[in-house]
Amino acid sequence: MYISNSRRKSEAVFLVFFILFLLFILRLCYIQFFRSNYLSELADKQHNLFVELEPVRGTIYDSASRPQAINLAADSLYASPRDIKDKEAVIKKLSGILGSSYAYLKDRLYRNKSFIWVARKVTPEQSQAIKNLKIKGLGFIKESKRTYPNSYLASHIIGFAGMDNSGLEATELNYDIFLKGQPGWAVFLRDARQKRLDLWQKMVLPKDGFDLVLTIDEVIQYIAERELDKAFKKYHAKGASIIVMDPYTGAILALANRPTYDLNNPSGVTKDKTRDRAIADMFEPGSVFKIVTASAALEEKKVTEEDKFFCENGSYRVGAHVLHDHTKHGLLTFREVIEQSSNIGTVKVAQILGPQIIYKYMKLYGFGSKTGIDLIGEISGVAKEPRQWSKISIASIPIGQEVGATAIQLACAMSVIANGGNLMKPYVVSAIKSRDGEMVKKFGPQVRNKAISADTSARMTKMLTGVIEEGTGKMAKLIGFSAAGKTGTAQKIEPNGRYSHSKYIASFVGFAPAEEPIITVVVMVDEPRPVYFGGVVAAPVFKNVAGDVIRYLKTKPVSRQEFVLNESTKITR
C-alpha cells in the first residue's frame, strides 16, 4: 500500500513537470514563431538609436566672397521618455533652464517613445547647464544653426532659414533646393544603461548643400542701406526702397527696404517688415515715367529736342480733366519740358504720338510684365492696353498716372537708357558652387528685348543730364562725376478712388557717370513728411549713394568685359 501511494505521488509529480515542460515548449514555440519580430524590434530599440544626420546648408557669399549666411554648430536636446523615472522633477529643472512651459515639456516627456526632440539648437550656456544635471534619458546631438553675420544687412535679398534649415524667405527660399542638401542617417549602439556609444551599425552620410554667390557687394549694400535709413527716419516715411544695379548686365549690386528686420531673430516679425517692397509693392511712378514718353517721341522721330511747346502757364484742359504743372511754364523746348518735368508739355508730346505708340514703348520698357528677377514675390504691375484707356488717359498715362510700377521695373527701365537701349533681366545670384569650389551653375546677363536705339539712348542721356544740371534734380548732382536722372512725385490713391493731397511717393531714378554708366540707382520713399517732392527727398539719397559707390568701384579693378548674349546681341561696357 505504501509503495502504491509513493508511485502515485511520483507519477503526479512527473505529470506536473511534464505539463509544465510542455507549456514551456509551447510558449517557446509561440515566442519563436509569433513574437520573435516584436521582441527583436524591442531589443533593437533598447540597444540601437536611429539618428537622422543633418547636411550642412550651403553658405551664401557676396560678390567678393564675403560670407552673408553661415552655419555654426549647436547642441540639440533630445529625450528618451521611457528611461526617465522622475519626469516631474526633470520637467521642473528643464523649464528653468530652457524657459519652456510646463505643458510643453509634459507633452514631450510623457510620450511612450525612445526618442523625441525637447529643444533644438540651444545656447551653449543652456547646453552646459543641462549636461551638469546628468539626467538619465537626456542627450544631445550636434546640429548646424543658420547664422547671419551682418544681421539686418541685405535681409530682403538673403532671407532666412527655419529651425530645420529649410529656406523661408527670399534667396534662402528661392534656392532652397540647392542650399539644403540631402540628409543622411545612422544607427548608433547603446549600452545596457541606454547610453549612446560612439559606435554605429549602419550609416548613410548626408550630402551637403551647394554654396551661392550673390551679385550684391557687401560694401555697396551698406552704403545703400545707410543712406536709405537716413531718409526713412528723417522724413518719417511709411516705407522706402533702394536698388543699385549694373545697367549693362542686370546684376543687382544692392537692394534694401525699410522697414527691415534682423535675420538672426525673425520670429514674430510682421509681413510688413519681411515684404520685399522693391519687387512686391506697386505704385504710380509719376514723372519718372516721362522717360518712356520722351524716348518714344525721339525714337519715332515725332519730336526733336529743340521743338517748342506752349505749356499753357500751368493749366491745360484735356476733355473734362484740367491738367496742372507744379510751376507755371510758358514756351519750353522739348528738352526743357523734360528738365523742368512739365506735365502739360509731356502730354502735348503724347497727343502727337497717340495711345498705340505710348503703349508700345511701355511694353518695350517692361512695364506690365515681371522682370524675372530671381526673388520670391515679384508682381507684374499694370500697363493698360489702349482699348482700356478712358478719354483722359492720354493726359494721365504719359506722366505716370494710371500706371502701376515696381522699383525693380524702374531700375530696368532707366538702365535701358544707360546701356544703349537693351532691357536687361535683373538677377541676384551669379553662381552656384559645390563645397570644394567646383562650379555647378553660372548665371549671367540676359537681354529681354531691344527697347530703343543707341542714338535715342544717347540723346535721352543728354536730356536727363540736364534734369540734374538745370532742372528738378539739382539736389542729385554729384561732386566730381556727371549723372543723369529723373525725379518723380506721385500722389497716392485714397480708398475712395481719388488722388490724395496728403500722401505722396517721392522717387528718383538715375545713373552715373552719365558718359560711361557704372550703376543705375532707384530711390523710392513712401509717404514722406512734411516734404514730399522727389527732387528734395529722394534725389539727395541718389547723390550720396552714387557718389560713394562710384568712388568705391573706382578702387576696384574693372574688367572691360564683353558679354556675348546671343548671336545677334552683344553688350560692351
Angle among Cα 148, 149, 151 to the nearest 5 degrees reads 65
pLDDT in tens, 442-458: 999 999 999 999 999 99
- Structural domains in the chain plus CATH codes: 52-153+204-209 (3.90.1310.10), 218-572 (3.40.710.10)
Task: Find where cell 513574437 sits.
Answer: 35
**Residue appearing with cell numbers 504720338:** 353
Closest CA to 87 of 110, 119, 61, 68: 110
The pLDDT of residue 217 is 96
The upper half-sphere exposure of residue 445, i.e. CA atoms within 13 Å in the direction of its Cβ, equals: 25
- Residue 225 near residue 547 (C-beta atoms within 8 A): no
Nine-digit cell string for 53: 544626420
Q: How are beta strands 321-324 and 484-493 bridged, if at all? A: unpaired
State the burial class of residue 381 (Cβ atoms within 10 Å of its Cβ: 0-12, 13-18, 19+). buried
Using CA atoms, how far apart are residues 214 and 60, in angstroms rounded to an integer?
7
Name 358's Cβ contacts closer than 8 Å, sequence gap at least 6: 292, 293, 296, 350, 394, 397, 398
Q: pLDDT 10s per residue in the chain (573 long)?
A: 555 667 777 777 777 777 777 777 777 776 666 666 655 554 555 455 556 667 889 999 999 999 999 988 888 888 888 888 888 888 888 888 888 888 888 888 888 777 788 888 888 888 899 888 888 888 887 777 899 999 999 999 999 998 788 899 999 999 999 999 887 766 655 554 445 444 455 566 778 899 999 999 999 999 999 999 999 999 999 999 999 999 999 999 999 999 999 999 998 899 999 999 999 999 999 999 999 999 999 999 999 999 999 999 989 998 888 888 888 999 999 999 999 999 999 999 999 999 999 999 999 999 999 999 999 999 999 999 999 999 999 999 999 999 999 999 999 999 999 999 999 999 999 999 998 889 999 999 999 999 999 999 999 999 999 999 999 999 999 999 999 999 999 989 888 888 888 899 999 999 999 999 999 999 999 999 999 999 999 999 999 999 999 999 988 764 434 343 443 344 444
- Tell me: the pLDDT tens digits for 247-271? 999 999 999 999 999 999 998 899 9
Is the CB of residue 182 less than 8 Å from the CB of residue 207?
yes
Rounded to the nearest angstrom, the gap between the alpha carbon of residue 553 and the centroid of all alpha carbons in its chain is: 24
Residues 298 and 455: their CA atoms lie apart, in Å, by: 9
Nine-digit cell string for 160: 532666412
Q: Give the per-residue pLDDT at 267.
A: 84
User: Residue 203's pLDDT is what?
Assistant: 60
- Positions marked catalytic: 287
**pLDDT for the residue numbered 41:** 56
- Give the CA distances from residue 168 to residues 156, 163, 165, 183, 212, in Å, rounded to whole numbers and listed in that order: 12, 10, 9, 18, 16
